[in-house]
Amino acid sequence: MSRVIKTTLSVVVMLLVSYQGIFAAARNSSNYSIQSDSINFSGGFSTSASFEQESTLGEVATGPSSSSSFNIKAGYQQMQTVYLAITTAANVTLSPSINGTIAGTANGSTSVTATTDNVAGYELYIKASSSPALISGSNSFADYTPSGANPDFTFSVGATASEFGFTPEGADVVQKYLDDGVSCNTGAGDTADSCWSGLSTTNDLIVQKLTANQPSGTPTTLKFRAENGSSNLQSAGNYTATATVTLLAR
Amino acid sequence: MNVSVRKITAVFLIWTLFFSSFTTIIFAVEDQFEVLLSVTSNDTTAPSVPSGLSSTAVSTSQINLSWTASTDNVAVTGYHVFRDNSLIATSTLTIYSDTGLVANAAYSYAVSAIDAVFNESARSATSTATTLSEVVVDAGGGGGGGSSTSNPLITNLQVFPGLNQALITWDTRKETISTVSWGQTQNYELGLSAEAFYLNNHQIVIPNLQAGTDYFFRIEITDGGGRKNFVESGFRTLGIAEDILNPINFRATPREKSIDLSWNNPSTPNFEEVRILRSTKFYPADPFDGEVVYEGRDEFVTDVDTVAGTRYYYTIFAKNKDGQYSSGVVVNAQIALPGEPPPKQEDVFESLPKAPSVHPIIQKLSLFDFDFIQDGERKQLFDGDTVLIDGNKNLTVSLDYSKVPEILKSVVVTLSDPQDDTKTFSFLLRVNSEKSRYVATIGALGKTGTFGVGISIVDFKNQGLKKIKGSLLASSATASEGRSIIQNLNAMIIENFWKLIIALLLLAFIAEGLKKIFKKNRKTDKYNENKEEREKAKYVKNY
C-alpha cells in the first residue's frame, strides 16, 4: 500500500471519527448531562473487531449510585465515554384540522434516530409536559386511555369523548407496543397504526436496544392521533402538546 | 507493529482525543418537540327564530307549550324555554310541558333555538297563559266512578314522534273517555279516534304520518258526569333526508401486477367527482383516512402501486358540488402471489378477528331496527327478514342513533346480486349531521329480484362483530344498471363471448359449404354448357 493511500485513509478515518463527535454535539438540545471531556495520555488503547476499550491509571472510582429515574456512574473510572445522540424531532402538525362540532380524526408523526456506540445499547423514553397533554387554554383532549392494561390495538374513542394518543413504530420498539395483529404486548409484529397509548408526564419506555448501532443509528417513528367523538363538542382553538424524548445509555 | 501503522495509530489517538475535548460525551440526551392541532368551529350561524309559540293551560299547575321548528345551516339541537324571562328548560322537541305552577296565575313564555355549538337565535314572540282555577263543580260521579266534583284534568302528556307514526300518552286523575283528532292544521282534518272505555292512563298511536312533518293534535276528555276538558299541541315526525348519493357497482379486479377499479357515478346533477382511498389495514372510514388512489369523474382506474400478496381495502366517496361526501362504498382485492391461485374477493369482515362478544346492545340488533327508506317512507318488513323495495328508486338505509352504544364501531351493508351471490356491493353507514341516525343512500339497484342483505356491525372497543342477514325484494326495475349504450354493448359481448365464437364458426362453416355448393353448380353449369355446344357442333357437322 503506498504511503499516499495510507495517509489518505488515515485522514478519512480521522475525519469520520471527528465528524461523529461534531454530529453528536450538533444534534442535541441544551439539556445535556456532560459526563466527560478529559484528555488522558496514560493507559492504553486497544481495539477489537467489535468494541473499543479505554483504560486509565491512578484514579479512584466512587462507584455507581441510582435513583428511581437514572443510574449515575460517578468517579473517573466509572464514567463511560459513550457516544449517544438523537436527531432533532420535528414538530408535528396533526392533520386535517378537526371541526369540533362533528366527528373527526387528525394524524401526524415525527421520527427520531438514536445512535450509540455503547455496547449495552440504549433506552428511549417519551413523556408530556402537561396532563392532559393536548391543551388549548382551559380546553383539552383527554389523554388516550386504553381499554385494558396494554395499549389498544385499535384507536377507539367514544362518541362523547375526545382523546389524544400516540404509538411508536420502529425496529426496537419495546414489547408493550408490539402485537400479534389483534392485541398488543403480545407477538412480535409492529402493525402500522396500532397499539395506542396516552402520553403522561412520567417517562414511558418506548424503545430498547441492546447493542451499539453507530454510525447508522435506528429510527423510531412516533405517530400521534387526536379524535373527536361524533357527539362531542370540542371547543375551537389551537391545541398544543409538548413532548420530550429522552435517550439513555443502558 | 510496523512504523507506518504505529504512526497512524498515534495520529488517530491524538486526533480523537483532541476532538474529545470539544465533544460533549453524553450519557442522557433529551429533545423536545410540539404536537399541534387546530380545532375549528365552522358554524357561526344561529338558527332561525322559533315561531308560532302557543301556550295552553291544561291544569291548575301545568301549561303546555308548542311552537314551530327553527332551521339552521347545520342542525338545530334544541330549544331554550323561558318563563317570565328566566330560562327554565332546554327541550329537543317543539313542545314542552311546564309543571309545578300555581293555580290561576298568568305566565309568559318565550323560546329560542340553539345549535350544536350553542349559537342561539333571538327569542320568539311571547305567549301568555293562565293556569286553571281550583274550580269546584257540582257533579255526580260518572262512568268511571269518579267522585270528585272538579273538571277532569290531563297530566303527563307526552309525545313520541317516529318516522311515520307518533305515540301520545297522557293520564287523567279521573277515569275519562278521550277523543283524539289530528291534522296538519289546527282543523285536525286527518283523523279522529275515540276510546271505548273510561280510563286513567291513555295512549294512542297515530299512524300513516309523513316523515319530517309537523302535525297538530287535540285531546278532548270527558268524565262520567259529562264534564270536559281538552288540550291542543303538536309534534314533528322524525325526518329522514336522503343522504348524499353513493357511487354504485364498485368493483375491484386484481390483475397480474395491478388492481382494476370500476364503478358507476351517481346520476344526480349535484355530483362533482369521486375520491377513492385505500389502506392495507381496513376500509378508510372517511375521505381523508387513507392513501388517495383517484379523484375525478371517470368510472375506471387502475391501481398500479400494488404488491402481490397484500390485501388492499378501498373506499370510494362521491363528492357533491357543495363539497360534501357520501358515506362511502367499499371493496377489497389482493394480487395473487406467483404460482398461487387468484385470491377471492373477501367477505367484508372475513379477515377480522371473531371475538367472543360484542356490546350487548349491538348483540340485540335485528333487521327490524334498520329502516329501508324510499321517497321518505319506511319500507315494510315482511316475513321477518325481507324488505320490498322499488328497484328503480334510490334507497336509504338508516339506523337510529340511539339504538347503538356510543362506542367506536363501523356499520357496513352488503348487497349480493340476485343472479350471482358472489357479486357483492358494500357500503358504509355514517352519522348524519343531526347525529340522530347512521345513514347511507345508494342509487337505484336497476334490477329486479331478491338481493341478499348482510349487515355487519364491528364493535372496535370489544373487538367483536355482529352480523344480520335478510333480503331486499326489488320490483319493477328496468335492467339498465345505469350503464351507457357502449357499456351495455361491451357487457353483452363479454357475457355472450362463447356464443359469439360458436356463431362465427358456424357462419364460417356455412360460408364454406355455400362456396363449395356454388363452385359445384358452376362446374355443372359449365359442363352442361360445353355439352350443349358439343352437341350443337356435332349436329352442325352431321348436318
Predicted local confidence at residue B139, as pLDDT: 33
The answer on B55 and B164 residing in a single domain is yes
Residue B249's contacts (CB-CB under 8 Å, 6 or more residues apart) are B262, B263, B264, B425, B481, B482
CATH code: domain of residue B324? 2.60.40.10
B110-119, B142-151, B165-174, B441-450: which has the minimum mean pLDDT?
Answer: B142-151
Are A233 and B43 within 8 A, CB to CB?
no
The answer on B217 and B81 residing in a single domain is yes
3-state DSSP assignment of residue B507: helix
Nearest chain B Cα distance for residue A155, angstroms? 8
The answer on B387 and B257 residing in a single domain is no
Which residue, of B211, B236, B261, is where some domain finishes? B236
- A47 touches B at CB < 8 Å: no
| Mean predicted confidence (pLDDT) in B304-315 | 89
- What span, in angstroms and rounded, lies between the C-alpha atoms of B320 and B393? 19
**Cis upstream peptide for A215 (omega within 30°):** yes
Residue B69's contacts (CB-CB under 8 Å, 6 or more residues apart) are B50, B76, B94, B214, B236
The answer on B227 and B99 residing in a single domain is yes
Predicted local confidence at residue A180, as pLDDT: 93
With 0.95 as the threshold, say if the pTM is over it. no
* pLDDT, one tens digit for every residue, chain A (250 residues): 445 455 545 544 444 443 333 333 322 322 222 333 222 222 233 333 333 333 222 223 333 333 333 333 333 333 446 788 888 889 999 999 898 878 889 999 999 999 998 888 999 999 999 999 999 988 899 999 998 889 999 999 988 889 999 999 999 999 999 999 999 999 999 999 999 999 999 999 999 999 999 888 999 999 999 999 887 888 888 999 999 999 998 8
The string of pLDDT tens digits covering residues B338-391 is 877 777 666 656 655 554 567 778 888 888 888 888 876 777 777 778 888 888
- Beta-carbon contacts below 8 Å between A and B: 225
Would you say residue B2 has pLDDT above 50? no
Q: pLDDT category, B536, cuts 50, 70, 90?
A: confident
Considering only the beta carbons, identify the residue of B22, B26, B74 that sits closest to A28. B26
The answer on B221 and B124 residing in a single domain is yes
- A14 touches B at CB < 8 Å: yes
- What span, in angstroms and rounded, lies between the C-alpha atoms of B167 and B160? 5
- A217 touches B at CB < 8 Å: no
- Structural domains in chain B (count): 3
- Residue B424 near residue B416, CB atoms below 8 Å: yes
**Residue positions counted in chain A:** 250
Residue B359 half-sphere exposure toward CB, CA atoms < 13 A: 15
| Mean predicted confidence (pLDDT) in B393-399 | 87
Predicted local confidence at residue A50, as pLDDT: 30
- What span, in angstroms and rounded, lies between the C-alpha atoms of A28 and B202? 77
Residues in chain A within 8 Å Cβ distance of B22: 21, 25
Name the percent of chain B in helix, strand, coil, to the closest 5.
15, 45, 40
The answer on B226 and B78 residing in a single domain is yes
B37-46, B181-190, B336-345: which has the minimum mean pLDDT?
Answer: B336-345
Would you say residue B125 has pLDDT above 90? yes
CA distance readout (Å), B284 to B264, B314, B412: 19, 7, 12
A206-210, B15-19, B64-68, B279-283: which has the minimum mean pLDDT?
Answer: B15-19
The answer on B315 and B368 residing in a single domain is no
Comparing B257 with A55, the larger pLDDT belongs to B257
Considering only the beta carbons, identify the residue of A18, A31, A102 that sits closest to B30. A31
C-beta atoms surrounding B137 within 10 Å: 10
- What span, in angstroms and rounded, lies between the C-alpha atoms of A121 and A113? 13
The answer on B424 and B389 residing in a single domain is yes
Are B27 and A80 within 8 A, CB to CB?
yes
Residue A15 half-sphere exposure toward CB, CA atoms < 13 A: 6
Q: Where are the beta strands (DSSP E) in chain A?
A: 34-36, 45-47, 52-54, 61-66, 71-75, 84-86, 92-93, 98-99, 104-116, 122-128, 134-136, 139-143, 162-170, 204-209, 218-228, 237-249
Q: How far apart are the first and last CA of chain A?
A: 41
B205 inside domain: yes
Predicted local confidence at residue B36, as pLDDT: 94
Looking at residue B369, the DSSP 8-state letter turns out to be: G
- A142 touches B at CB < 8 Å: no
Could you tell me the sign of the dihedral formed by the alpha carbons of B10, B13, B17, B18, in that order?
positive
β partners of residue B25: A36
The answer on B291 and B159 residing in a single domain is no
C-beta atoms surrounding B237 within 10 Å: 19
Place of cell 355439352: B531
Are B12 and A245 within 8 A, CB to CB?
no
Q: Which of B35, B45, B283, B465 to mutate to test the interface with A (most CBs of A within 10 A)?
A: B35
Predicted local confidence at residue B136, as pLDDT: 40
Are A191 and B37 within 8 A, CB to CB?
no
Would you say residue B5 has pLDDT above 80? no
Predicted local confidence at residue A150, as pLDDT: 93
- What span, in angstroms and rounded, lies between the C-alpha atoms of B467 and B454? 7
B519 inside domain: no
* Chain A, nearest residue to B74 by Cα: A101
Please name which of B477, B469, B484, B240 lies closest in space to residue B366, comparing C-alpha atoms.
B469
Q: Which of A101, A116, A250 to mutate to test the interface with B (most CBs of B within 10 A)?
A: A101
Are A248 and B41 within 8 A, CB to CB?
no
Considering only the beta carbons, identify the residue of A81, A153, A224 that sits closest to B35. A224
Residues in chain A within 8 Å Cβ distance of B407: 156, 158-159
Edge-first strand listing for the sheet containing B76-83: B86-91, B76-83, B106-115, B127-130
Place of cell 351495455: B488
- A17 touches B at CB < 8 Å: yes
Q: pLDDT category, B26, cuts 50, 70, 90?
A: very low
* Chain B, nearest residue to A158 by Cα: B407
The answer on B232 and B262 residing in a single domain is no
Comparing B499 with A168, the larger pLDDT belongs to A168
B127 inside domain: yes
Q: pLDDT category, B432, cuts 50, 70, 90?
A: confident
Predicted local confidence at residue B400, as pLDDT: 81
Residue B221's contacts (CB-CB under 8 Å, 6 or more residues apart) are B152, B154, B172, B176, B177, B178, B179, B228, B229, B230
Whether ipTM > 0.90 holds is no
B263 inside domain: yes
B166 inside domain: yes
B215 inside domain: yes
B387 inside domain: yes
Q: pLDDT category, B427, cuts 50, 70, 90?
A: confident
Longest Cα–Cα distance of chain B, Å, equals 149
Enter the C-alpha cell of residue B87: 330560562
The answer on B218 and B73 residing in a single domain is yes
Residue A164's contacts (CB-CB under 8 Å, 6 or more residues apart) are A132, A133, A134, A141, A142, A143, A144, A198, A199, A224, A225, A226, A241, B35, B37
The answer on B74 and B217 residing in a single domain is yes
Which residue, of B495, B520, B537, is where some domain finishes? B495
β partners of residue A221: A111, A169
Predicted local confidence at residue B74, as pLDDT: 66
- What span, in angstroms and rounded, lies between the C-alpha atoms of A52 and A45? 8
Nearest chain B Cα distance for residue A109, angstroms? 9
- Residue B337 near residue B330, CB atoms below 8 Å: no
- A175 touches B at CB < 8 Å: no
Predicted local confidence at residue B490, as pLDDT: 56
Which residue, of B455, B473, B495, is where some domain finishes? B495
Domain range enclosing B111? 51-133+150-236
Average pLDDT, chain A: 73
B274 inside domain: yes
Average pLDDT, chain B: 79
Do the strands B291-296 and B271-279 form a parallel or antiparallel pair, or are they unpaired? antiparallel
Are A37 and B21 within 8 A, CB to CB?
yes
Q: pLDDT category, B222, cuts 50, 70, 90?
A: very high
**How large a percentage of chain B has pLDDT more than 90?**
16
